[in-house]
Amino acid sequence: MSVRAVLALGSNLGERSDTLSHAVADLVDTPHVRLREVSAVVQTKPVGGPEDQPDYLNMVLEVETDLDPHQLLAHCQSVENKHHRTREVRWGPRTLDVDIITYGDLTLNDDDLIIPHPRAHERAFVLAPWAWMDSNATLNGIPVGELAKAAGDLDGVEPYEAEPFEAGQ
């Protein structure tokens, strides 16, 4: 059985853009996870966590998977680990964060995993790129575009354009 899942990726340490690109490839480098859609990348101010963090790059993916939710979580965490993710401070700076936002229509709340993601409905850094990627997407029955417009961090979400490469760098 195959299920569509939405994943949110973020990075605010190191080569953020490269990390996201490599993470997408790593996430789908298994026959159990297939890429369906990729959002644009956005640059955002940190939400929560310690002060004075660098800005994040964020994006959203839709994948199709035959992994169960906990297997998908383990896979996402293995990709985070490959990119040297550490968990020292809640909502602290990180090389890579991969969250499962939705897993089909599943609602799950156990010690290891909550689906839909418990804060996704209020985070424009997830909702805006998701809405741009899929204008028909809903979260808990509400269009993600509407949720994005109501999110408190919407004014901190900007389209990201990588610095152009210059000869001699």
134 is catalytic: no
97 is catalytic: yes
CA 13, CA 10: separation in Å to the nearest integer?
Answer: 10
Given 16, 26, 97, 153, the catalytic residue = 97
Q: Which helix (H) or strand (E) holds 49?
A: none
Given 85, 105, 111, 112, the catalytic residue = 85
> One-letter amino acid identity for 43?
Q
26 is catalytic: no
Q: Which residue has the tokens 């853009």?
A: 17
Cβ 15 vs Cβ 57: under 8 Å: no
At 34, is the secondary structure helix, strand, or coil?
Answer: strand
85 is catalytic: yes
Given 29, 36, 55, 99, the catalytic residue = 99
Given 16, 94, 123, 153, the catalytic residue = 94
Supply the residues annotated as catalytic: 85, 94, 97, 99
